[in-house]
Every structure is written in structure tokens, then in C-alpha cells.
Amino acid sequence: MASSIVFVSWMVFGLVMATNSTTQVEAARAFFVFGDSLVDNGNNNFLVTTARADSPPYGIDTPNRRPTGRFSNGKNIPDFISEALGSVPTLPYLSPELKGDRLLVGANFASAGIGILNDTGVQFINIIRMYKQLKYFEQYQARLADLVGYGQAQQIVNNALVLITVGGNDFVNNYYLIPFSPRSRQFSLPDYVRYLISEYRKLLMRLYDLGARKVLVTGTGPMGCVPAELAMRSPGGQCAAELQRAAALYNPQLVDMIHELNSQYGSNIFIAANTQQQTTDFINDPAAYGFTTSKVACCGQGPYNGLGLCTVVSNLCPNRDAYVFWDAFHPSEKANGIIVDMILSGSANYMSPMNLSSLLALDTKTRT
């Protein structure tokens, strides 16, 4: 589950020469995605792990009604950003199709189950933790340089949009995973949040060192309000107070840290999306956004359809667009689309220091 990206449209000008030369592609902006299941486009399909979404009914609302590895009934957040910018979706980095001209579009390095910390999601065993995602980003850049040359590869990366969504699992699949978890014995909640922020800062600085210059960072959603937490912690249907407290501590500190980094680098490299506020809006008034319910997942079982995995034997709603949540943790395709609308054009209540459209309007030639 849950927590900067810009890949502008790419156009292939089929200048295929009889000499076996590479097709020439003009990529206005590449797009790179890092993080967890909220943005995983299918990397975990290629791993031996239980953190997978490659079985029905996942993908039920895709054109071919087949699962893609996205934790959604259809599109996820990266897909909607790609669509808004007129680009094709990025491929998972582990996909064998990611080669040749498809490298110019960017890549998705995200992996369901991971967190900021390397000990988050240990129950999923074989997942691509953040340090490995960044290693893959280095590998990608070497492959890109082989295709277009080092200078052009560096320019593509510098001009790219990067999305990173990570942090939610560090609470639900670490600190609060079991009573008296190792991390909860090691840290009080305020100290744990400060530790997470300090570790996240290192990840963002590493992205900068690797060439990222336009980075969209999403906070956690209202973690205590997802169907899984309602089912396990709140029989009365109220958002779980302790997880809500965690989100309320974490998200403002994340924004402060991003402002500090921008000041350190002397430029608005990072922008923060307040996905907690957007999803809270859904939860408080689902009808205002065309939803019927914000408590019950479309796919699942048990109270609020919040227990266990979404499988072919789960309860499945007939109208996915009526539900804020697709499964126990993840938004529906419709909710993902509304979240991206907020990311693109939201006010200061949702985006800091600016929205994505404003970020993309800045000079793309900025260099260090």
C-alpha cells in the first residue's frame, strides 16, 4: 500500500534506415516511477513474492479485462499522469519489453510491499526495496547511454519527471504490523516519524545525485481509514485513531523536509502532494465526488471487504466507479484519476510549493 514524475509525450519519427540503425525518437520528457504498490505497474509480476496483483479480478476494467500487476481495477496514478501528458505508460523495469526506444519513455521501478526502511515488508520476502530501485535507476541510465550517448542520456534524465510514492508501508507493514513490533519497541511514534523523515531525505538526495530535477513526492493517505484498518481496528467504522495520528505527524514533516531540500539546492526540485487531504475529502463526502461509499472496498471479504486479498472468490462490486477503494488498501481507478487531477492543478491546500502543472511550466533546461 500506502505513499516526481513527468514523462511528456514521446513521438517516434520512424527514420528506420536500411543499415540496422536505431529508430530515432524524440522524447520531450521521460518519466520515472519509484515506490510501492500504489504505483507499481507490474515489477512484482517478475518476482517470487506474495505481494502481487497478477490474478483476476485485478485489471477487470482494463481494455482486455486482464490483470497487469497494478493494484487497481484499471489505471493507477502513474497511468493517469501519463495520459494527461499524452504519453504511453512506462513499462516495469523488469519487463523484457523495456529495451530500445521504449527506454526513452522512462521506466517504472516501483515494487509492492516496500517502504522507506529496508526492514519494511519483510513478510513479502522478495521485493525491490528502495536501495535496489535506485540501483536499477543507475543501471537504466547506463543502458540509456548505450542507446543515445552519455550526454543525451544525462539530458533526458535531468529533464524527466520523477514520481516517488513510499512511506505508508513503514506504518501498516512495519510499526503497526503486529503488537509490540520491533520498531514500536525501538521508537515512540514521534521519534519513529522523525527517523522515517531523515531516511526519506537520504533517498531524495540520492535521486538528486542521480540526476532527478523534477520530483513529485506523495505523502501517505489517511491510513486509519482504509478498509483493511477499519476491519481490523474499528468495528464501529470510525477511522483508526493511532494510524490517523501517524499520518498527521508524518505528512507535515515530509512537506517541511521537502522545503528544506529545495532551499538547500536553491531551486524547486521537489513538490509534495497532500494525498491525505484529497482522500480525506473522499471519505468525508463521497457523494460530492460521485462515490457511494468510502468505507467498503469493492473487492474483498469480511467487514468492509477489508480482510485478506482480493481474489476470484472475493466479494466483487458490480460498479467500481461507486467505490473510493478497490481493495483493502488501494484506491479505485476513478479515485486515482481524481487524485491526479488534484496533483496536476490542485491549490496550496493539496500541493506544495506548487502543483505539477506549474512545475512543468518551469524552465526544463535547469542544470546544476
Q: What is the 3-state secondary structure (H, E, C) of 331-363?
A: ECHHHHHHHHHHHHHCCCCCEECCCHHHHHHCC
How far apart are the C-alpha atoms of 50 and 330, rounded to whole Å?
16
Residue with cell 506523495: 218
Owner of C-alpha cell 511528456: 8
Q: Which amino acid is at 266?
A: G
> Catalytic residue positions?
37, 327, 330
Contact indicator for 326, 72 with CB cutoff of 8 Å: yes
CA distance 271 to 191: 24
Q: Closest Cα to residue 303, out of 230, 222, 225? A: 230
From first to last of its 368 residues, what are the pLDDT tens digits of the chain? Answer: 433 333 222 222 222 222 222 233 334 589 999 999 999 999 999 999 999 999 999 999 999 999 999 999 999 999 999 987 788 999 999 999 999 999 999 999 999 999 999 999 999 989 999 999 999 999 999 999 999 999 999 999 999 999 999 999 999 999 999 999 999 999 999 999 999 999 999 999 999 999 999 999 999 999 999 999 999 998 788 999 999 999 999 999 999 999 999 999 999 999 999 989 988 998 999 999 999 999 999 999 999 999 999 999 999 999 999 999 999 999 999 999 999 999 999 999 999 999 999 998 885 444 34
Query: What integer pLDDT is reported at residue 205 of this predicted model?
Result: 98
Instruction: Say whether 171 sits in a helix, a strand or coil.
Output: helix
What pLDDT is attached to residue 20?
Answer: 29
Q: For the chain, what's the residue count?
A: 368
CB 79, CB 7: distance < 8 Å: no
Cis peptide before 235, with omega less than 30 degrees from 0? no
Element (H, E) at 151: helix 150-159
Whether residue 66 contacts residue 49, with contact meaning beta carbons closer than 8 Å, is answered with: no
pTM: 0.90
